[in-house]
Amino acid sequence: MTESLHLDAPLVPGAVNFRDVGGLSAGAGRTRGRVLYRSGQLAQLDEKGITALRGLGIRRIIDLRADEEVSHAPSRVEGLDLVTQRVPLFLGSVASFFADDIGLDEMYRRLVADSAAGVVDVVRGIVTDQPVLVHCTVGKDRTGVTVALALAAAGVDEGAVVADYARTETLLPAWRSRKIVDSLRSSHPEAVHLEDLATKSPAPVMQALLADVRERYGSAGDYLRAHGLTDDEIAELRRVLVVEE
């Protein structure tokens, strides 16, 4: 697997799975630091978290959650000078994936197929303003897939893309994962894929998704082009995210 240099995670109290995707190998270069961040939801930010977020100079937040998720856990970003871009990615509720007991592979294939316009909107948001933060509820699936596709389209090495996705599982507090799994298990006692859906980010799942995108479209960039992104926008994505060494 291609090595990647993960930058130290900025401390944003109250934000789970918050990190900078700078330092990932991209051919002869690396992804720029302090440009693209990713995380889970921002509803538990305290005053120190809000101050930390302000200190990062983030100009745009791209929130991938559905309306009911935002209503239940609104982001605490009041007073920050930034744009919040809403791009709900799942067609249907998050709860339906647990009820249907589908695996991560199938969830990601559905996201890529059914939410392509939203993925393009996310990439356009990344290109429009920097620094930019992309987040969903946990920062694992919707964030994981869209950030992976953006990174791949910008020319980041596949091994580094996969490693960044897989890193999420190590950043989710164990106590939190146990609490979520126990709560979901009470509603879905027979579900086979519940723990994976709620807490896991296995590297083979992202490897399979990227392989499926290549098979269907040629590359992540070609996938974005097929759904409306222009060559100029993809070139700008690479310019924004990657610095040559």
The 10s digit of each residue's pLDDT in 18-62 is: 999 999 999 999 999 999 999 999 999 999 999 999 999 999 999
76 domain-assigned: yes
11 domain-assigned: no
Residue 141, amino acid: D
- The catalytic position among 136, 151, 220, 242 is 136
The 10s digit of each residue's pLDDT in 111-168 is: 999 999 999 999 999 999 999 999 999 999 999 999 999 999 999 999 999 999 999 9
The question of whether 136 is a catalytic residue gets the answer yes
- Element of type H or E holding 242: strand 242-244
8 domain-assigned: no
- Element of type H or E holding 139: none
102 domain-assigned: yes
Tokens matching residue 144: 């994981």
7 domain-assigned: no
What residues make up the domain containing 99?
A: 19-244
13 domain-assigned: no
* Residue 34 near residue 20 (C-beta atoms within 8 A): yes
Tokens matching residue 200: 């896991």
Count of domains forming the chain: 1
Backbone dihedral region for residue 14 (phi beyond 0: left; psi -120 to 50: alpha; all else: beta): left
Output the domain CATH number for residue 221: 3.90.190.10
